[in-house]
Amino acid sequence: MWCKSVFPNFLCCTLLQLLVCSLSLVSPSAYFVHGGSLSYSRDVLYGLQYTNACCESTVSGIPMELTRCYYNNTEQKAFAKRRKRGKRGGVKQRLRRRPNRLPLPSIVLSNVRSLCNKLDELNALVKYDRALQDTNLFCFTESWLGDNVDDNSVVLEGFSIVRSDRSLDSNKTKGGGICCYVNKRWCSDITVYNKECTPDVELLSVSLRPYYLPREFGCIKVLVVYIPPDGNAVRAADYIAEQVNASSVRSPNSPVFVLGDFNHCRLNRVLPNYRQYVTCTTRGYKVALTLPIGTFSLNQRKT
């Protein structure tokens, strides 16, 4: 071993001692004698740099940064592992990198007024738009679907469909209907609790158990509502509150989302512990308070 004169003699002796200590850990079968000298294979030599036993015989005068075992120390792994050069940091970027592992789902809600004639555009948006492709849940009101429209006719690639069409119990034959698309990469465990269609309210209640969910939540409850303009707002609000309370009793610690087209109905009276999140304009110059589309959201109690 040759060293420059700028190094102290004790450092040369110590490095030689470390090499001998590392070579002594190799079994005799790992080398062979050729021409009066020992020869080691390439794999054995590469394995020497990850040996931790040499750290036990190091001299206190050598800094830990000069030894290979410095990076194997569990307390120093954060020093060795750094973010890649040019990679953006922050919570927003981390959430974009894992869109299917959000604590709460990303939801797109719309009053489509006939889904069939917009399905091609929706498929194109889901295919080429990253934000819509990573959406966990699509909720559509006024889907205008009926018994004559099969599920295979309204397929959205990468999503499972759950629908509640308008029935004769609503005393109407056209319009209405609720449809939900669940991202298969986010959740496949879907349970339908209730499908209701009356002259006053149309409601679809589902329970979702995603692949990733915080341990505080047992599942996620979603209630999609459509209230016709001529429906009785008081009876509709009472029925919605009844279904929401039933969902809360089944899973007390689970978040409950109530969203849809409420028209003239208000839920402040029957659900005082729920908070309205969407308060901006949702259609033309009308604000969400007069035309609430998806205005009632996560079950969050006021403190």
Domain residue ranges of the chain, discontinuous segments joined by +: 9-80, 101-287
**Euclidean distance between CA atoms 146 and 166, whole angstroms:** 7
DSSP helix/strand/coil, 242: helix
Q: Are 297 and 257 in contact (CB under 8 A)?
A: yes
Distance of CA 48 to the CA centre of its chain: 42
- Sign of the alpha-carbon dihedral angle for 241, 244, 250, 253: negative
pLDDT in tens, the chain (303 residues): 343 344 444 444 444 444 444 444 445 555 555 555 666 677 766 666 554 444 444 444 445 545 555 445 544 555 445 656 666 667 777 777 777 778 889 999 999 999 999 999 999 999 998 888 889 999 999 999 988 899 999 999 999 999 999 998 888 888 899 999 999 999 999 999 999 999 999 999 999 999 998 888 889 999 999 999 899 999 999 999 999 999 888 888 889 999 998 888 888 889 888 887 777 766 665 543 333 333 333 333 332
Nearest to 204 by CA among 142, 266, 250: 142
Q: Which CATH superfamily is domain 101-287 in?
A: Endonuclease/exonuclease/phosphatase (3.60.10.10)
**Euclidean distance between CA atoms 11 and 9, whole angstroms:** 5
- Mark residue 73 as left, alpha or beta (left: phi above 0; alpha: psi -120 to 50; beta: remaining): beta
E strand map for the chain:
31-34, 37-40, 107-111, 137-141, 159-164, 178-183, 189-197, 202-209, 220-226, 256-261, 281-283, 286-287
Type of residue found at 133: Q
Token pair belonging to 55: 């750290």
pTM over 0.85: no
Q: Phi first, then psi: give them for residue 165, nearest 5 degrees.
A: -80, 160
Write down the residue that tokens 């509502």 correspond to. 225
